[in-house]
């Protein structure tokens, strides 16, 4: 079975790549195959938060993914020194991947993309004249291979790339709402849990028409510490009068985007979590769509020119919307979880405009230069003040000396 593009992975990144490629060059629509190891509708462990910028990107190619969802108009962040909450016009929604991915797959199929379900990939061969993929559903040959197969990407391993240093452990479950929960239009993050390199969350969700709350813990492994995220989640539930033993626990891993890493090789490239998503927030769906919005037109261009070295993919990815976004978050990450974390948290608490700006980006709104300048000035002032202040160790020595 010969195709122009063989995409391994039928989640948002792989399907979006196919959809945006079809839009960029409709003549390719029957020459694209997406290999999905499961069968739709299949569940995918994920909190389900999706910024409106993803819906806007799909709308630009004439697609609306109409699935049950909870509209979001605010974000709350709890830090060691307090909580900041900002609300605005709708900025996104919470979906269930079992429904969202299925709807996206149906949309791709309706535009001529072949979706092969139950196609667990067992082997990959890349040669000078093409790629071959062996699967439980048969063998597929193509001119280009796209790895959209998530955190355990077989395509990534076939390229000889390391697994990456930014790996996260995640645990979640769905419960009934309880007194003390925030309004259902708010995504709540709790980053006050001691040495946890990450946060806990409470997101409104809807399952089978029933309003529930998705609760979980996200921990980015930046060192060798062993953090019991189940115990952390159990303690948070207990504070709300909930027993963790009553609920179905879902565990999964995530891979963070890392700077200065290769994400392509001749005839092969990576998108979505196979490449890496935002390690700071763990957000993946909107970024998966953004990967597809970049990779689709890129592939259309390369197919038209029969250029398959992909030598410029990583450089152009870094300049794309998803590359800039994930790159900025990757640069912020060491500071947020580093020795200046307390100062950064104080800045976030004292500058609601910073969170409001992040919400506007989440929603896909054009960012005001005036607002950007104001937040940048506030951040610069806060950074200068933090640098001028003595470190905790030096402050302790000064107190002892006095």
Record the pTM: 0.91
Cis peptide before 400 (omega within 30 of 0): no
Q: What is the pLDDT of residue 386?
A: 52
**Residues β-bridged to residue 84:** 77
Confidence of residue 226 (pLDDT cuts 50, 70, 90): confident
Confidence of residue 336 (pLDDT cuts 50, 70, 90): confident
Q: What is the pLDDT of residue 133?
A: 98
Question: Would you say residue 401 has pLDDT above 60?
Answer: no
Q: What is the pLDDT of residue 305?
A: 97
Confidence of residue 398 (pLDDT cuts 50, 70, 90): very low
Degrees (nearest 5) of the Cα angle 303, 305, 306?
60
Residue 96's alpha-carbon distances to 3, 25, 46, 102, 233, in angstroms, are 31, 30, 8, 10, 21
SS3 assignment, position 361 = helix
Taking residues 331-351, what's their average pLDDT?
83
373's tokens: 């300048």
Decide: residue 68, CB within 10 A, 0-12 exposed, 13-18 middle, 19+ buried.
middle
Q: What gap in Å lies between CA 166 and CA 223, rounded to an integer?
A: 10
Decide: residue 259, CB within 10 A, 0-12 exposed, 13-18 middle, 19+ buried.
exposed
Confidence of residue 357 (pLDDT cuts 50, 70, 90): confident
Question: Would you say residue 396 has pLDDT above 60?
Answer: no
**Each residue's pLDDT tens digit, 246-279:** 999 999 999 999 988 899 999 999 999 999 999 9
What length does the chain have?
402
Q: What is the pLDDT of residue 354?
A: 82
Confidence of residue 371 (pLDDT cuts 50, 70, 90): low
Q: Which residues contact 168 (CB under 8 A, 6 or more apart)?
A: 198, 218, 219, 220, 221, 253, 254, 255, 256, 279, 282
Average pLDDT in the chain = 90
SS3 assignment, position 399 = helix
**Each residue's pLDDT tens digit, 122-162:** 999 999 999 999 999 999 999 999 999 999 999 999 999 98
């Amino acid at each position: 079975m010969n195709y122009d593009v063989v995409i391994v992975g039928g989640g948002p990144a792989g399907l979006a790549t196919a959809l945006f490629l079809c839009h960029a060059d409709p003549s390719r629509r029957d020459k694209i195959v997406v290999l999905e190891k499961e069968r739709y509708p299949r569940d995918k462990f994920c909190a389900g938060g999706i910024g409106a910028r993803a819906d806007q990107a799909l709308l630009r190619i004439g697609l609306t993914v109409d699935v049950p969802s909870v509209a979001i108009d605010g974000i709350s962040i709890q830090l060691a020194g307090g909580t900041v909450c900002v609300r605005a016009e709708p900025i996104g929604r919470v979906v269930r991947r079992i429904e969202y991915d299925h709807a996206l797959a149906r949309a791709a199929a309706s535009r001529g993309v072949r979706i092969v379900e139950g196609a667990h990939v067992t082997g990959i061969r890349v040669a000078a004249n093409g790629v071959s993929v062996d699967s439980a559903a048969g063998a597929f040959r193509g001119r280009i291979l796209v790895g959209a197969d998530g955190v355990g990407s077989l395509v990534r391993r076939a390229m000889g790339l390391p697994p990456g240093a930014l790996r996260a452990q995640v645990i979640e479950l769905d419960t009934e709402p309880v007194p003390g929960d925030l309004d259902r239009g708010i995504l709540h993050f709790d980053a006050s849990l001691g040495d946890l390199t990450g946060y806990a969350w409470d997101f409104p969700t809807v399952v089978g028409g029933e309003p529930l709350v998705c609760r979980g813990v996200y921990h980015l492994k930046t060192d060798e510490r062993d953090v019991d995220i189940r115990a952390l989640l159990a303690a948070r539930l207990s504070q709300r009068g909930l027993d963790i033993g009553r609920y179905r626990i879902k565990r999964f891993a995530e891979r963070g985007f890392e700077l200065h890493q290769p994400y392509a090789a001749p005839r092969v490239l990576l998108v979505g979590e196979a490449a890496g998503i935002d390690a700071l927030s763990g957000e993946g769906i909107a970024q998966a769509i953004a990967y597809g919005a970049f990779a689709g037109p890129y592939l259309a261009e390369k197919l038209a020119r029969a250029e398959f070295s992909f030598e410029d993919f990583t450089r152009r990815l870094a300049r794309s919307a998803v590359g800039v976004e994930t790159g900025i978050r990757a640069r912020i990450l060491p500071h947020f979880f580093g020795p200046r974390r307390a100062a950064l948290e104080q800045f976030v608490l004292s500058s609601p405009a910073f969170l409001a700006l992040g919400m506007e980006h989440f929603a896909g709104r054009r960012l005001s230069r005036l607002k950007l300048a104001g937040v940048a000035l506030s951040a610069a002032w806060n950074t200068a003040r933090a640098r001028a202040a003595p470190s905790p160790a030096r402050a302790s020595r000064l107190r002892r000396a006095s």
